[in-house]
Structure 1
Amino acid sequence: MQLEGIPFQHTDWENVPATQHPGETGVAYWKTLEFGDLRIRIVEYSKNYKADHWCSKGHIIYCIEGEMVSELADGSQHKLTKGMSYQVSDELSSHRTFSEHGVKLFIVDGAFLK
């Protein structure tokens, strides 16, 4: 893992610019901080969002508000609602996300999940 020490700092997420990432349907808005190989994001999926790809990267995801479903490559579906989290390492469970009503997430990922 390529990570230098991170000195104490606070983040006002309202001042972090968002980037737009279209899905197969809907759109995702990412507010991203990066520290070496560590990436920390607030991600919002719009209503009727469906990812346009299968993801095999690892994540730690906490649901701030709303709900989403993660579909795994084996066909199983897992709902995440406010106050819930999930975690997965790289290359262990290909997944894609959809959200009927929209969702706001706190996501941490990076090389430590290999």
Structure 2
Amino acid sequence: MSTTTPPALVGIDFDSIPWEKWHKPGADGRVKIAYTGGRRIRLMELPAGFNEEHWCERGHQGYVLQGEFTIHFDNRSVPCRPGMGFIIPDDERHRSQGAEGEPTIVYVIDEVPAP
């Protein structure tokens, strides 16, 4: 007997996904989330000047749509602006800090199975 795995999403209609509150100390915002193929895909909006208080060790890939922020690592900081992509490897401790002036909107993908 064979089982069939449902096909992975190809198109994600973020307009049809409701915004949810997103909370991380220092970075309250909102998020739209989709899961496909063992990945979590997020459209995130964080307020101007956000400053994550806790370090993250999960890898992420993303693209900056609006706003500027800095990804802080243990030994360096990387500024990100609209039009830039980023890749953070698993187990590389990091946290983000937004610039003042406008919210940050970012598209983020990480390997997290659906709940």
Same fold, TM-score > 0.5, yes or no:
yes
Equivalent residues, number: 106
Matched with 1:38 is 39
Structure 1, gaps ≥5 residues long: none
Q: 1:5 offset after TM fit, Å?
A: 2.5
Does the aligned pair in 1 maintain the 2:19–2:30 contact within 8 Å? no
Matched with 2:71 is 70
Bigger Rg, structure 1 or 2: 2
Q: Deviations over 1:58-105 (max 9, x none)?
A: 11010001110000012x1111000001102211x2110010233100
Q: Per the alignment, do residues 78 and 8 of structure 1 end up closer, same or farther by CA in structure 2, a change over 3 Å counting?
A: closer
Q: How do 1:81-96 and structure 2 match up within 5 A?
A: 81-91=81-91, 93-96=92-95
Q: Secondary structure at the match of 1:50?
A: coil
For residues 23 and 9 of structure 2, what CA distance do their matches in structure 1 show? 30
Q: Per the alignment, do residues 61 and 9 of structure 1 end up closer, same or farther by CA in structure 2, a change over 3 Å counting?
A: closer
Q: 1:18 offset after TM fit, Å?
A: 1.9
For residues 43 and 82 of structure 2, what CA distance do their matches in structure 1 show? 14
TM-score between the two structures when normalised by the length of structure 2: 0.79
Out of 4, 7, 10, the residue aligned to residue 5 of structure 1 is 7
Matched with 2:18 is 16
Q: Per the alignment, do residues 40 and 10 of structure 1 end up closer, same or farther by CA in structure 2, a change over 3 Å counting?
A: closer
TM-score between the two structures when normalised by the length of structure 1: 0.80
Higher strand share: 1
Does the aligned pair in 2 maintain the 1:51–1:96 contact within 8 Å? yes
Identity across matched positions, percent: 20
